[in-house]
Amino acid sequence: MTVHARTLPVLTDSDVLAGFRTLRSQQPVEYWAFYSSQMKGIVTDPALMVLPFDDHIVHRGHGIFDTAAIVEGKIYDLEAHLDRFLRSADRSKLRLPCTREEMRDIVVQTAAASGRRDGSIRYWLSSGPGSLELTPARGAEPGFFVMIFAGLSYPDRWYTEGLRVMTTTYPIKAPLYAITKATNYLPNVLMQMEAKEKGFDNGVFIDADGNVGESSNMNVAFVTKKGALVHPKFDHILAGCTSLRLLELARANQDRAQVAGVEVRDIPVAEARTCREMLLLGSSIKVAPVVQWDDQAIGNGKPGPVSKALLQLLEQDMRTSDRLIAIPY
Ligand SMILES: Cc1ncc(COP(=O)(O)O)c(C=O)c1O
């Protein structure tokens, strides 16, 4: 049998734009504004939110990112996210396209162009286009991109009934890669896919010493039998801005948080499994209770009081703290 290959068209620039518009209409997205240092401005049509294929962030994963939240017309805790972004850039040997102040200003202006009062801001730094090699191309300009989008959404059930997680069979990233927020999320993606395939909501990485690591795009914490909030050390997992802020809030408001102390230390899996509560923490999930880990219930198998109290503390902080930047719409 002869297979007749379809003759492929050679496209014009308007064919390309029409193609991207068709793609977006088949799969609508909630992307409201996008800044690109390569385009030197902001676009609001998702069909135009593109970058050159030979940018090394695309074909070599040489790039980093971070995500912050827009809450009631203000950006929450951007400085902490920018701190981590700059640390990740340094560890990834990525040059900055402009100063921190200019990056902050671009983020704020892109948020304003979106017109949205609630949502997420994700921004990336790339090593730039110019070759298909590994090291940055000669003369490559680093790329800075900012996307204002609807944010990740999770089922209400996660908060009302709690999540079920499994210990992943995938190895945890080596510490240097885990503490760097680079665009290579393959282990994180595989962990989440594996969990969903097996009927769980998410996975948990365990380190080589048998201590708890983190989840796919969120940190993990526990409430011990004695009521202390315990969190793994940040030397081999991502330093979650949410975790760091919550540890601070819980320390300062132990009664409200319903905890008897706060500890950041190694947490052996055997100890973790005996805890009263297990929590997932992150910018997108905020604070959610885990009620089952592998085949074992956590505590009494119901969401506990600390997860609820910490969620309230965080939500209050996201609206009233001094870590808010007003967006000049
Ligand atoms: C691997 C990983 N761990 C933890 C977190 C939580 O970090 P944050 O609280 O800053 O969202 C994230 C999300 O950025 C993540 O990707």
Distance CA 140, CA 58 (A): 14
pLDDT above 90: residue 324: yes
C-alpha 191 to ligand 1 mean position (Å): 15
Q: What pLDDT is attached to residue 1?
A: 53
Which pLDDT band, with edges at 50, 70 and 90, does 295 fall under? Answer: very high
Q: Which helix (H) or strand (E) holds 33?
A: strand 31-36
C-alpha 178 to ligand 1 mean position (Å): 10
pLDDT above 80: residue 63: yes
pLDDT above 90: residue 5: no
Cβ–ligand 1 contact at 36 (below 6 Å): no
Predicted TM-score (pTM) of the model is: 0.96
What tokens does 44 get?
């609001």
Q: What pLDDT is attached to residue 4?
A: 66
Question: What is the rounded average pLDDT of the residues 93-117?
Answer: 98
pLDDT above 60: residue 307: yes
Which pLDDT band, with edges at 50, 70 and 90, does 114 fall under? Answer: very high
- pLDDT digits 0-9 by tens, 36-45: 999 999 999 9
Q: What pLDDT is attached to residue 235?
A: 97
Question: Are 293 and 167 a contacting pair, CB within 8 Å?
Answer: yes
Q: Is 109 left (phi over 0), alpha (psi -120 to 50) or beta?
A: alpha
Cβ–ligand 1 contact at 88 (below 6 Å): no
Question: What is the rounded average pLDDT of the residues 192-215?
Answer: 98
Amino acid present at 72: E
Cβ–ligand 1 contact at 238 (below 6 Å): yes
C-alpha 282 to ligand 1 mean position (Å): 5
Ligand 1 atom 15: the closest Cα is on which residue?
Answer: 217
Q: Which of 233, 283, 287 to mutate to test the pocket of ligand 1 (most atoms within 8 A of CB)?
A: 283
Ligand 1 atom 2: the closest Cα is on which residue?
Answer: 217
Cβ–ligand 1 contact at 106 (below 6 Å): no
Distance CA 111, CA 26 (A): 26
CA-based torsion, 273, 277, 283, 286: positive or negative: positive
Cβ–ligand 1 contact at 202 (below 6 Å): no
Atom of ligand 1 nearest to the CA of 243: 9
Which pLDDT band, with edges at 50, 70 and 90, does 249 fall under? Answer: very high
Cβ–ligand 1 contact at 142 (below 6 Å): no
* Sheet (strand 41-43) strand order: 41-43, 31-36, 143-149, 119-126, 63-71, 74-76, 324-326
Q: Which of 217, 234, 247, 279 to mutate to test the pocket of ligand 1 (most atoms within 8 A of CB)?
A: 217
pLDDT above 70: residue 213: yes
Q: Which of 216, 219, 248, 314 to mutate to test the pocket of ligand 1 (most atoms within 8 A of CB)?
A: 219
C-alpha 122 to ligand 1 mean position (Å): 12
131-169: b (≥16 Cβ within 10 Å) or e: eeeeebbeebbbbbbbbbbebeebeeebbeebbbbbbbe
C-alpha 181 to ligand 1 mean position (Å): 8
C-alpha 5 to ligand 1 mean position (Å): 46
Question: Are 136 and 128 a contacting pair, CB within 8 Å?
Answer: yes
pLDDT above 90: residue 3: no
Question: What is the rounded average pLDDT of the residues 97-120?
Answer: 98
pLDDT above 70: residue 207: yes
What mean pLDDT value characterizes the chain?
97
pLDDT above 80: residue 88: yes
Question: What is the rounded average pLDDT of the residues 78-90?
Answer: 98
What 129-137 contacts at long range (C-beta under 8 Å, 24+ apart), as own/partner pairs, is 129/38, 129/51, 129/52, 129/54, 129/55, 129/56, 130/54, 131/54, 132/54, 132/59, 134/56, 134/60, 134/62, 136/56, 136/62, 137/54, 137/56
Catalytic residues: 181
Amino acid present at 83: D
Spatial neighbors of 7 by CB under 8 A, at least 6 apart, are: none
Cβ–ligand 1 contact at 217 (below 6 Å): yes
C-alpha 215 to ligand 1 mean position (Å): 9
User: Is 232 strand, coil or helix?
Assistant: coil
Which pLDDT band, with edges at 50, 70 and 90, does 129 fall under? Answer: very high
Percent of the chain with pLDDT over 70: 99
Cβ–ligand 1 contact at 179 (below 6 Å): no
Q: What pLDDT is attached to residue 173?
A: 98
**What is each CA distance from 291 to 136, 201, 218, 299, in whole angstroms?**
46, 11, 16, 7
